[in-house]
Structure 1
């Protein structure tokens, strides 16, 4: 029996949501495809058809989270017309969303080890770093920052925020911890402000 496009999308979303729940609760190593398909009331064939294997399903869940974070960062950044405010709003949104409990294990713990650093960095670049780079380039064009290498600044800020998110998550995502990181990020950016 052939499925409609809408049924296919529903199946994919059901698998992604079920897998996200299991990967969050148990971690990649402690989840079997059988757990996921039984909960979703589907067959292993559905996973193999849409994602090839458990790692492919994990990658799709990981990418979904990256996309969600990127969209939230963009939404929060655009609440201001001021480029400095956009940068700070985006940084704060990234710290808030990336450190949420349902993202911590998948994004920060299992992501790098399951997918490897190359894939992790590729996803980070696709959903976070490219937007950050675009904003920093606009800031440079408007003579708001005095940096000769936007790539160096982008990688430095991105790396700092990724590490800060780990620290925030370890400290139970407290608002005080996020505020401490924001103070440091503001001080760092003042160093390149024109």
Structure 2
């Protein structure tokens, strides 16, 4: 049998990743088997192992994609404003909205801290939306408009608050209304940090 080209191999890996993300998001990590992922992607289980090594390796790749998707939403929202404070608020709201999606919430906030461990989860977050939050707060502190003694502590607390708000909202009967409520409180918290 001829060996797959690089393009074919990348296409297979992408199909597996798409299938896995849909399944992990719908059923949670414990409810998904690699045979089911392979079947949904139209590949063999061996192909899944070839590209991702294990179920945990596959989940790690899905989580990285979820984190990148949220970070892209945050970055796009923040880029829409020239005012650094408005950019912080827009990015924070975008985080809540992007994290509320079922595909993201289950993978990024529910399963990843347990499956990957908190250190790996935080490391991936640090490359994405947490990095953007830290950069925004650092810029505001440098401009003299942020009233905190420690930017890293502020970033950790705000990140934790937003993660918890997204989880809380998703568990309510009306998640969109709950995000609006959480956003009202978060804006008040942010306002208290402004000089």
Residues 21-53 of structure 1: per-residue CA shift (max 9 Å, x gap): 111222211211111112222112211111111
2:98 equivalent to 1:90: no
Q: Deviation of residue 173 (structure 1)? A: 5.7
2:79 equivalent to 1:63: no
- Greater mean deviation of Cα atoms: 40-49 or 91-100: 40-49
Question: 8 Å contact 1:100–1:173 — kept in the other structure?
Answer: no
Which residue matches 1:157? 158
Which residue matches 2:19? 18
Q: Residue 129 of structure 2: SS of its match in structure 1? A: helix
Residues 102-131 of structure 1: per-residue CA shift (max 9 Å, x gap): 222212221111111111111111111111
Which residue matches 1:191? 192
Question: 8 Å contact 2:26–2:102 — kept in the other structure?
Answer: no
Alpha-carbon distance in 1 for matches of 2:174, 2:5: 42
1:120-131 equivalences in 2 (<5 Å): 120-131=121-132
Question: 8 Å contact 1:108–1:166 — kept in the other structure?
Answer: yes
CA RMSD of aligned residues (A): 1.3
Distance 1:172 1:86, change over 3 A: farther
Q: Deviation of residue 172 (structure 1)? A: 4.9
Alpha-carbon distance in 1 for matches of 2:173, 2:6: 41
Where in structure 2 are there 5+ consecutive unaligned residues?
Answer: none
- Greater mean deviation of Cα atoms: 171-180 or 85-94: 171-180
Q: Residue 43 of structure 2: SS of its match in structure 1? A: coil
Alpha-carbon distance in 2 for matches of 1:173, 1:105: 17
Question: Aligned pairs, how many?
Answer: 194
Question: 8 Å contact 1:99–1:173 — kept in the other structure?
Answer: no
Question: 8 Å contact 1:67–1:127 — kept in the other structure?
Answer: yes
